[in-house]
Amino acid sequence: MPSITPSKSTTITRIARIPYLNSAPFFRGLSVGEGCELVDSVPRQLGIMAAAGDVTAGLLPLADYFRLEDTFERIGPFGIAVRGRAQSVLLFSRQPIRQLDGAVIAVTDHTSSSALLLRLLLETRYQIIPAGYERRQHAEKRYQNESMLKDRRQDGEADALLLIGDEALQFHQTNRHYPYEIDLGFEWWLWQHLPFVFAVWAVRKDAPAHEKKHLETALIKALARNSAQLEAIAQEHTTSLHIPSTELHAYLSSFVYRLSQPEEDAINQFKKLVNEHHLL
């Protein structure tokens, strides 16, 4: 468990912004108010910053929220969840999932909750013990032609690769070297018959009450506005992601941003399993 330090913020309230398309319904046009600033951070780094007291609030990965519950509290019913396929939490594999026993699995250094979900699925659902999980940058970017791919084994490349967010979306479009793509959200759904919650909005308990209220109100307004503009959001990102806007619109439409009882049940079940298997 990371050590938790008091907030370092004195005059500026720092709110972490996840720079992924699936977070845009919260952050597009979000009015954080005077004395606040948005700080871009990928999920795993956000957890580290939250533990260090470097951010006041953010869309905290569920695994990190579990670790920091003494310091952070949730903001309303807001989070990111799927009821079935996530489409951007993908394990790209050279073998079927049931054949990954003894495999080396590369895990993007962006992920927090999805890394724990992967371990639960492999080690608990499928009784598979990989040779190891290696945190790394997206190594496959190094392999841009067939001659380099021929030397993959000598270079120590992994048997499977976990990617999340926009990087997973983009790699799915160009993947030619991993014949198996496993959607972790769908695997969880098949296993537990529950949604999967990747992140929840949370704020430091010692933050001023008026700041908490302002942020909650801002989230309500931003989500209400952007939920009616998913097509526009998709169109805004089609050029940078090199993915048709129709696909991006369908992708955005699959997420649950206001968590209800099924998501709360899923949070409790994930926490129970993580604790039982000592993964935190």
Q: What is the 3-state secondary structure (H, E, C) of 145-162?
A: CHHHHCCCCCCCCCCEEE
Q: What is the pLDDT of residue 10?
A: 44
pLDDT value of residue 7 = 52
Say whether pTM exceeds 0.85. yes
- What is the predicted pLDDT for the residue at 157? 78
3-class secondary structure, 30: coil
Question: What is the pLDDT, as a whole number, of residue 254?
Answer: 98
**What phi, psi does 22 have (nearest 5°)?**
-70, -10
Give me the pLDDT at residue 39, please.
Answer: 96
Using an 8 Å Cβ cutoff, are 18 and 204 in contact? no
Select from 201, 247, 244 the least CA-distant residue to 62: 201
Output the six-digit token pair for 56. 């006041």
Average pLDDT per run of 10 along the chain, which is 280 residues long?
Answer: 48 88 98 89 97 97 98 98 98 97 96 97 97 74 39 60 97 94 99 98 96 95 98 98 98 98 99 95
Residue-level pLDDT at 155: 34
What are the residue ranges spanned by the domains of the chain? Answer: 13-83+196-263, 89-192
Q: Mean pLDDT over all residues of the chain?
A: 91
Instruction: Give the model's pLDDT for residue 35.
Output: 82
**Cβ–Cβ under 8 Å, residues 101 and 128:** yes
Q: How far is it, in rounded angstroms, from Cα 192 to Cα 198?
A: 15
For residue 152, the model assigns a pLDDT of 40
Q: Fold identical between 13-83+196-263 and 89-192?
A: yes
**Distance (Å, whole) CA 133 – CA 115:** 9
Residue linked to tokens 């307004």: 221
Q: Which CATH class is domain 13-83+196-263?
A: alpha beta
Alpha carbon separation from 181 to 112, 141, 184, 268 (Å, rounded): 20, 17, 9, 27
The CATH number of the structural domain formed by 89-192 is 3.40.190.10
pLDDT at 65: 98
